[in-house]
Amino acid sequence: MDLQRELKQNRPFASATQEATVALIYTADLVRRSVSNVVEGHGITLQQYNVLRILRGAGEKGLPTLDIAERMIEQTPGITRLIDRLETKKLVIRERCATDRRQVFCRITGDGLTLLTRLDQPLHETEALALAYLSPRQLSQLITLLDRARNGLHAALETTQEAS
């Protein structure tokens, strides 16, 4: 389906760049909603899932809170609140660092690992469905194009921050 028709937009896009930007945002939202439906059915939000995924990857040592925030797919100012909620659900634990009391390490619990294991297959199926109409070659091209766009955006944002 053509994006302009799907969005019920009567006028054409002002430029190919505008159309690509809107298509990217709209598509990302559709993928986000489909993944959210899976994780929310298990009592957590997409951002909470992201924290658990990061902590599973960190292993037994865990990670300091700020390191988790830096690794989030979507930036969030409320990382402490996210971890509070996960701790209340007994999916993560926090401990102060013995050598630097200002630093708090977070680790995923056995219950958190069990939840992620239950989510792995349904999420894999959802991800496959989201991009089912792309061939392996097209998926590779999409990844390359998104990497290039993201790298350019990072560079532009750094330049803007340095100028201010």
What token pair was written down for 67? 């390191």
Distance of alpha carbon 126 from alpha carbon 124, whole angstroms: 5
pTM for the predicted model, two decimal places: 0.86
| Local confidence band at 1 (pLDDT 50, 70, 90 cut-offs) | low
- pLDDT tens sequence across 67-108: 999 999 988 888 999 999 999 999 999 988 777 777 889 999
- pLDDT tens sequence across 33-44: 999 999 999 999
DSSP bridge partners of 63: 106
Q: What's the residue count for the chain?
A: 164
DSSP bridge partners of 96: 104
| Local confidence band at 144 (pLDDT 50, 70, 90 cut-offs) | very high
Which CATH code is given to the segment(s) 30-127? 1.10.10.10
pLDDT at position 102, please?
Answer: 75
| Local confidence band at 158 (pLDDT 50, 70, 90 cut-offs) | confident
Contacts of 109 (CB under 8 A, 6+ apart): 90, 91, 92, 93
